[in-house]
Amino acid sequence: MIHKVAAVVVPGAAPFELGVAYEVFGIDRTDTGGPAFEFTLCTPVPGPVTTKGGFPVVVDAGLEAVEDADLVVVVAYGVEVDGVEVDGGGAPPEMLAALRRAHDRGAWLFAICSGAFALADAGLLDGRRCTTHWMYTERLAAKVPSAVVDPDALYVTDGRILTSAGTAAGIDAALHLVRAELGGDAARSIARRMVVPPQREGGQAQFVVDPLPRQGESLAGLLAWMREHLADEHPVPRLARRAAMSERTFARRFRQETGTTPGAWLARQRVARAQELLESSDAPVDEIARLVGFGGAAVLRHHFARSLGTSPVAYRRRFACDESVPA
């Protein structure tokens, strides 16, 4: 049972993710039937801690707050590496030691977004399933080769370690933890006060943008052309001829530059274009399926379920622009 919660912040802490930790675990909600936690904000060196937004947060407690916490939340943070601002990594040694001690005594560890890199630095993600923001999953996988990094999940639980994707996924993960430890009523009570769904469907693949290769790479022009002609058929022999390559060379070069096959890449671009049309137009699903090259709604639904874990109708309901709502 979770009672004491310690949220660890370091310089470069992300304000929103810090707010998520406080919003879920720092507010007494007993007046509406929700739970109350003993919430403490802590840091390796107590005092003003500069956030990623440039403004400070005054933190009075040191890492001693971690020592008897039932849950330790590692808030997302950014650090400078070789003069370049990046998210995650470079956590203070005393913080890593505190995280390891918390894990050894059986506390929950919850890393929001790039907070996962602190768990990685502490050696706590070795051999585990985990996730982080989709922009950093490859970097996390390279940092911890033995970990199974899921680039699509909103959150992942492995043992008593919980990692989440970026920003709002931290809310999903926190509510999941409340649900697992205190039950559905407690999670629903918090969600109701926050005016958020108690549990979302789908994964962060719904929010990923697949970029084209950089200009200058050999297939950049071809891929741009394919994106402009998604409704057409694109058999490999025809694509290879257009690229002035043999089919074997084309297949090898395509995988080198995109990391996948022509068919899989094309399907992902068609899904991405369908996402855009579902968000920005009121065209029927059948028509969108035809415009992006899937032929019919059934095929589009299949690819949405496979790639995004949702349906076109559910996706439109969640993401469609509503011009009647004032900006």
* 234 close to 226: Cβ distance less than 8 angstroms: yes
What pLDDT does residue 152 have?
Answer: 80
> What is the predicted pLDDT for the residue at 200?
63
What are the distances in angstroms from CA 50 to CA 109, 136, 170, 201, 224?
A: 23, 23, 21, 35, 42
Q: In this model, does residue 85 exceed pLDDT 70?
A: no
pLDDT at 300 > cutoff 90: yes
Identify which has the larger pLDDT, 315 or 230. Answer: 230
Q: What average pLDDT does the segment 244-257 reach?
A: 89
**Would you tell me how many other CB atoms lie within 10 Å of the CB of residue 43?**
25
Threshold 0.85, pTM exceeds: no
- pLDDT greater than 50 at residue 323: no
Which pLDDT value is given to residue 180? 86
101-118 mean pLDDT: 96
Q: Which pLDDT value is given to residue 84?
A: 44
pLDDT digit string, tens, across residues 120-157: 999 999 999 999 998 888 899 999 999 999 888 888 99
What's the pLDDT at 71? 98
| pLDDT given at position 307 | 78
91 backbone φψ class: left, alpha, beta (φ>0; ψ -120 to 50): beta
Task: Give the per-residue pLDDT at 203.
Answer: 58
What average pLDDT does range 69-75 have in this prediction? 97
What is the Cα–Cα distance from 315 to 282, expressed in whole angstroms? 13
Query: In whole numbers, what is the pLDDT of the chain averaged over residues?
Result: 87
C-alpha dist (Å) from residue 231 to 190, 228, 258, 265: 45, 9, 20, 14
pLDDT of amino acid 308: 78
Q: What's the pLDDT score for residue 66?
A: 98
Q: In what order do the strands lie in the sheet with 155-158?
A: 38-42, 4-8, 71-74, 108-111, 161-164, 155-158
Cβ atoms < 10 Å from Cβ of 226 = 21
What is the reported pLDDT for 68? 97
- In this prediction, residue 205 carries a pLDDT of 52
User: Which pLDDT band, with edges at 50, 70 and 90, does 208 fall under?
Assistant: low
Is residue 286 predicted with pLDDT exceeding 70? yes
Tell me which residue of 262, 271, 260 sits closest to 302, measured CA to CA. 271
Q: What spatial distance separates the first Cα and last Cα of the chain, rounded to whole Å?
A: 42
Helix axes of 15-25 and 184-194: crossing angle, nearest 10 degrees: 130
| Predicted local confidence at residue 81, as pLDDT | 38
Give 91-102 pLDDT, tens digit per residue: 899 999 999 999
pLDDT the model gives residue 219: 86
Q: So what's the pLDDT on residue 102?
A: 98
Torsion over CA: 11, 12, 17, 18 (sign) = positive
SS3 48: strand
Residue 224's pLDDT band, with cuts at 50, 70 and 90, is confident
Structural domains of the chain ordered from first start: 4-206 (3.40.50.880), 209-319 (1.10.10.60)
Residue 138 phi, psi (nearest 5): -65, -40
Give the pLDDT score at 246.
Answer: 94
Judge whether residue 82 has pLDDT over 70: no
**Percent residues over pLDDT 70 in the chain:** 88
**Cβ neighbours of residue 49 under 8 Å, at least 6 residues apart?**
9, 10, 11, 13, 43, 56, 57, 58, 59
Q: Indicate the pLDDT class of residue 260, thresholds 50, 70 and 90.
A: confident
**For residues 258, 262, 263 and 266, what is the CA-based torsion angle, rounded to 10 degrees?**
70
Average of per-residue pLDDT across 9-16: 93
Stretch 69-81: mean pLDDT, rounded? 82
- The label of the residue with tokens 């913080």 reads 95
- Side-chain half-sphere of 194: how many Cα atoms within 13 Å? 26
